[in-house]
A and B are shown apart, each in its own frame.
Chain A
């Protein structure tokens, strides 16, 4: 993805960026790798083996993150499509409304869901008002569904915006041309719009899946702190809430997640190859 240095530009321009990347990306990753492969007696591979012990945790995290990503995609695509076809004014306002919640802190917004979903929360209170006091209410919180809801709610904008950007870059003349050649609505969507928005979809999937699989606070707030996701486990190894701190195992589990994400992104970018020409841009 990197473009060559523009003529007249100098490499000096890259110093702030490379300094930043070294300090906050390369060195931390180096530390993660170092901790992952060391133990009390120097080099070891045993830390990585812990992922097998926690395979169920890993699987649950992947499962919930995948569900959240698919739901985001299903929700986001029609919204992004509708936005891209609307007037400039509507597009501006819609973008604003999607960004608006992000002006508030992520934690506050997630806590707000508690007051909505709880047994004594807004939804159940409303239902009780309708069906009478004997209505036992719905169990909406402290389960996996609530965790997925938290992920979808928090990360949806990261799916909408790249798809929307990709869609707005599609030249309308292509649609007109295909219509002239006799394509119907479904054909236009399936053969022109959808393929050309793939870069946006890929970008959106990456930007929703990665924070979803590594979250540890949504599961704590909306999941009642009952079931650890892989992020909770890593947090516990680093912060030692369970009484013992172990950076090595924590780093090893983080490394496994990083490699997993890297591999997934690599395959996804392959998907994306043919459609590279149109905008959207992918993350890695």
Chain B
């Protein structure tokens, strides 16, 4: 017994001294740990190792499932992050609330490689706070082995409301994306501030609820790939990933219109390692890295040089890089004013508490 205790103590001492080494390292010049907070399934994890190798800066990488989850974590002050990658409407909200740091673009020379059409968009008009990471649209994914051709012939959102597929339909588990589908179905803008239109969209979602198998975010991968569900609305890049895994899956951008999103890298005002954070952003815009990352996540990239390096099939893939006439019917989210945000929140709870 004594021997056991002794060896236990020995192990503990070893651990403590190891931990102490780690701590000392952190104080050193190159021992900075950068906290990167990104969407789930949204990076080629191997590039993080390259970054550590090249710069000596460690990356502590964590993920979130929705913009709202990320936002509440940050404002609660429960954790400190350096780099975050939110969508455009959330960036606008965070700029308004003074949560983002102005970037020093001298540290991000690769910003020059970002296509002009992705710069200075409405959410960051003066190009001060964000560097575009990827973009895409929301698409309808379906399993062609189970969904009849005539039901997808019109490429409509109404597939999500088709009673034939009751119990096999997946919906977004976040209000912004879910309500956008309801509003588009009714022909309203996703950015409307008209309470009656929001109420009508909520009615659509409540009517759809009995048909829905589950409200999910990244669980959609498993459920669509394993054919547990047949129909889902999700983000284009992730849809591509699913289609790679199961050849029965197909997708379209609905005719009624869809959300087009721009996810961009930002640095938080509270970051204590701003220069390192900018180095990370610059690294992610490096052509070789951006190509590798794009091949993994399957989303459209705004980095022009990297785009040309992609294989031709991807470059011409209309699901990832939709033609202009498709983009024309897409809508980019704007940050909702407080009253509309409150209404959206109330209606979402109404949906989830209608039994």
Contact = CB atoms under 8 A, between A and B. Distances in A.
Interface of A: 54, 56-57, 60, 118-120, 139, 142, 224-228, 232-233, 236, 238-245
Interface string B169-204: 000011110000000000000000000000000000
A142 B73 CA distance: 28
B342 interface: yes
Nearest to A230: B353
Contacts of A242: 68, 175, 344-345, 348-349
Interface in B106-152: none
Contact of B214 (A57, A139, A224): A224
Contacts of B212: 224, 226
B80 interface: no
Contacts of B175: 241-243
Given A57-B353, A118-B226, A240-B72, 11 more contacts: A142-B214, A227-B355, A236-B349, A239-B73, A240-B345, A243-B175, A243-B345, A243-B348, A244-B341, A244-B344, A245-B72
B216 interface: yes
A243 B353 contact: no
B260 interface: no
Place the interface of chain B in its size category. Answer: 20 to 34
Contacts of B345: 240, 242-244
B209 interface: yes
A226 B209 contact: yes
Contacts of B76: 245
B255 interface: no
Contact of B167 (A139, A233, A243): A139
A139 B167 CA distance: 9
Contacts of B349: 228, 233, 236, 242
A240 B216 CA distance: 16
B213 interface: yes
A120 B226 CA distance: 8
Contact of A120 (B66, B71, B227): B227
18 contacts: A56-B353, A56-B355, A118-B226, A118-B228, A119-B228, A120-B227, A142-B167, A224-B212, A224-B214, A226-B214, A236-B349, A239-B69, A240-B71, A241-B69, A242-B68, A243-B175, A243-B341, A245-B76
Contact of B353 (A142, A227, A238, A239): A227
A142 B214 CA distance: 7
Contacts of B215: 224-226
B75 interface: yes
What are the 9 closest A-B residue pairs judged by CB atoms, nearest first?
A224-B214, A225-B215, A244-B345, A242-B348, A242-B345, A228-B352, A240-B72, A243-B345, A239-B72
